[in-house]
Every structure is written in structure tokens, then in C-alpha cells.
Amino acid sequence: MNILITGADGFIGRALVARLLRSGVLPSLGDPRRQVVLLDRGFAAPPTDARVRLVTGDLADRDTLREALQEPVDCVFHLASIPGGAAEANFELGLRVNLQATLSLLELLRLQATTPKVVFASTIGVYGVPMPEVIDESTVPGPSLSYGAHKLSGEILITDYSRRGFVDGRSLRLPGIVARPPQASGMLSAFLSDLIRALSAGRSFECPVAKEGMSWWMSRTCVVENLLHAAALSAEQFQKRRVWLLPVLHASLGDVVAAIARVHGEEVLSRVTYHPNPTLQAQFANYPPLRCPASVEAGFRNDVTLDALVQRALDAA
């Protein structure tokens, strides 16, 4: 199997690569055409595995994509994106990477004249704000940020290319994944990761949303397993849907802080203060219950408990 991962040096990409190489999903190097191609703008610590081929460059550059697709691929994990805050700050960049590059990728895959699987990392940002009282698998999207609009457009394109038999697509609407590294990422939801990292490490934290604010939570370990599960779904499971919600944990900031205290000690409770920012509160701490029985029946999973979420959130790739 030849696999392409875009955004391979990102937070989720690095964990997915490590999981693929560790699990033996990729065959051993007997046939040089069997490989995993990692595409990103750069690689901080690239894997040295002989099955890996690195492609460094701009996803939105057609020549870079052609280099990544020198050999026909069987499966693509399309993770690369310009996240919400960065896409709002630079509309042209967000449009070029999040939408135009996705279309270019699909076009090059169509020209392969095969039907590769495409696992697309979409977003819960397709729903926008304010959200309804409950979100389920029939809720109509209404993005309120450009990032959500671009991702929704990508879902539609992938569904149509699948209808035409050009690709075999499956889109996952990912929640905020924790705990991202403490660096500028352009993600407005970064505080959700910062909270877990700071309190788990014994530092104080000023939370920019209210203690009662409700959000959706999933660890990097869990989302990687869901991405791999999406790639493994059978054709019969796509007869009615190609876009999947994930069965997240729905919990308040206070609930997560309490879980951190159970894992790392009660003194955690005295190191957090709450100073709500109305914009962040509305966008990331006002989430309703999410119900996705079809996804659960198809085998998608969450972290089960908040204590497990906290422990897995700090797992290395």
C-alpha cells in the first residue's frame, strides 16, 4: 500500500506517521513502490524509516503535489490546513491552502485513473455559532469562519469526486484535539490544550472562558485511531454517508480541570482562574450535546473518560 499524508509534520500528522510505522500497517521494504509519502513545508525531526519518502514544499504548489504523487497512491490522509485564526487573519492564504490545494489534490488523484481512499480532516467549525441546542448527524452546517467554509467545501468536493468514482472519500469532522504543543499555531482554540499542559506541569493558568463553559474533547491518540478506522471502513458503510461526526466527550472546563486534579493532584484546583473572553466563550465554550449514533455503530470511538483524556492528551507521538 502506498500512502500519502499531507500536513505530515503537524500535531496530528506526526502521531499518525508514528502509529502507521509502529503498527506494521505498511509492508516491509521489499517493493520500493510500497511507501508512505510525507508532505509538509518542513520536517523538524523526520523519521529515518526506509519506507518513508519526504516531500518538502507548499501543498498549494502543483509541482509539489506532482512530486508527492510520483507513484500512484492507495490512500491519502489529507490533514494539512491553515487553521481558523490564521485563515481569518489571511483570507488569501486560507483559501489557497484549505480549498484550492484540496481541489488540486483531488484533480491529480483523478488523473491517476485509480480510486484511492481519501481520509479528509474536516472540522466541527462547519457548524458555526450560535449552535443549536443539539447537534446530530442531520444538523445543517452554517460556518461562521472562513476555515469552516473552506472545510465544508472540501467535504462537498470529496463527496462528489467519490460519487463519480474518482476517489473513495471519507470526511471526519474533528473537534479541538488536545493537547497541542505550546506554540503559535493560529488556532483560536489553543487554550484548551494550554489548560491541560500548564496544569498538568504544575503551572498556573488563566482560563479565557468560564468554568461552566461546555466544549468537545478528544485526545490525539484517539483521533489517530479514528482516522485509521475511517480508512478501514468498507464500501458498504458509505452507501448513505461520507461525512462522519466523531463521538466526542462533552464536558465543561471545570470538569476537565477536576479530571486533571484527579490525575495530577488536588493542588491543581488552586492554580486555575477564569477570565471569560466573550468571543472565545461563544466560539469554543458553548457547545451543545453531540449525538452521532451512526458513527458509533460504524465503530468510531471517544476517549471514554475525562481521566483517560487527560492522560492520553500528553502522550508522545
Give the catalytic positions in this structure.
Answer: 147
Contact partners, residue 304, CB within 8 Å, separation at least 6: none
CB 68 within 8 A of CB 172: no
The answer to whether 285 and 209 have CB atoms below 8 angstroms apart is: yes
Three-state secondary structure call for residue 206: strand
Q: What is residue 216's three-state secondary structure?
A: strand
DSSP designation for 145: S
* Single-letter amino acid, residue 98: N
Helix/strand/coil (H/E/C) assignment for every residue in 117-131: EEEEEEEHHHHCCCC
Omega of the bond prior to 278 within 30 degrees of 0, cis?
A: no
Say if residues 210 and 276 touch (Cβ distance below 8 Å).
Answer: yes
- Residue given cell 508512505 in the structure block: 36
Query: Beta strand pairing status for 249-252 and 214-219?
Result: antiparallel
> How many whole angstroms separate alpha carbon 92 and alpha carbon 240?
34
Contact status, residue 90 vs residue 193, Cβ threshold 8 Å: no
Question: How far out from the chain centre does Cα 102 lie?
Answer: 15
